[in-house]
Amino acid sequence: MKRDFLAIADYSPRELEDMLELALLLKQEWKTGGNKPILKGKSLGMIFQKPSLRTRVSFEMAMQHLGGYAFYLSPQEIGLGKREAISDVARVLSGYVDGIMARVFAHEHVVELARWASVPVINGLSDYNHPAQAFTDAFTIYEHYGKVRGLNVAFIGDGNNVAVSLMHIVAKLGGNFTWAGPEGYEMPQSAIAEAQAFAAESGSQLHFLHDPHEAVKDADVIYTDTWVSMGEEAEAEKRRQVFPPYQVNAALVAEAKPGVIVMHCLPAHRGEEITDEVADGPHSLLFRQAHNRLHAQKAILARLLGGL
């Protein structure tokens, strides 16, 4: 039976932990001579409705490192749900490729793809969540600290798709998650309810605040993201007036633990949600995090397409 990667919520803590170990193994293997071609002869079709740097290059190179092949399908080529029904796209591609990765606007589009595809479908980002990013984030935290359980992760900013998936994976793995952002920009209540159920099982603590200074007290990780996500450009000016108190700057970082790490999924709008001083400073893991997309996605691909 095929397995998709649509949401962190679909995976058990044990499955996520096993995949983190696999990502670490694949990264070490790559650094010491290269990965085994476990996906030789396998192909990944990559559907993009949104532009991308990290998602496209990391998935494409991950497939190449593992001996497979990936190719890009532009919005003009597919016209998902417009030029052709999603159910038809899914069934046609399933006869050509071994897996599908989709980066979409509407979450229901990737769910519909998975429903009709007979090959694994990976969510490369939707308006609701970003599980591939969150898995990378957990991998980066795990690689740095040797654990996620018991760590305090503070997300400062908009309760967006990245925040949802990060909250879910931290709660699943027994870390403590705190969100701080302005009123009216919280995560969906349904996503919070899911996280609370995961936290009840793992012993994680969840906090939802409007004070960024309170949120970063005792933080092991400070995470931020753009104030204006793709598709929200009409709100850009309003958001730039509301979010400045939530900027991750040197003064805010100084209020956390001395060894705190700072993360951002990129692209960063320097001078808005994060300052140059922090992004390029000693606490920053921004670029190791970005590079880890490659290895985290190898683990996802190896599990779904290679049966590891």
What are the residue numbers of the active site? 103, 130, 133, 225, 265, 293
Is 1 a member of any domain? no
Residue 81 binned pLDDT confidence (cut-offs 50, 70, 90): low
What does the pLDDT average to over 14-24? 98
Model confidence, pTM: 0.97
254, burial (CB in 10 Å: exposed 0-12, middle 13-18, buried 19+)? exposed
What does the pLDDT look like over 292-303, one tens digit per residue? 999 999 999 999
Is 2 a member of any domain? no
Number of neighbours of residue 266 by Cβ within 10 angstroms:
16
The CATH number linked to 244 is: 3.40.50.1370
Residues 298 and 269 in one domain: no
Reading the block at residue 268, the tokens are 């960063």
Residues 158 and 67 in one domain: no
What does the pLDDT look like over 223-247, one tens digit per residue? 999 998 766 777 888 999 999 999 9
Residues 103 and 177 in one domain: no
Cβ proximity of 115 and 109 under 8 Å:
no
What does the pLDDT average to over 21-32? 98
The total number of structural domains that make up the chain: 2
Residue-level pLDDT at 50:
87
Domain hosting residue 238, numbered range: 134-289
Residues 140 and 278 in one domain: yes
Which residues have C-beta within 8 Å of that of residue 166, sequence separation ≥ 6?
Answer: 133, 134, 137, 153, 155, 177, 223
Of 162, 47, 62, 51, nearest in space to 102 by CA? 47
| Alpha carbon distance 27, 36 (integer Å) | 12
pLDDT for 82 beyond 90: no
Residue-level pLDDT at 232:
72
Residues 152 and 277 in one domain: yes
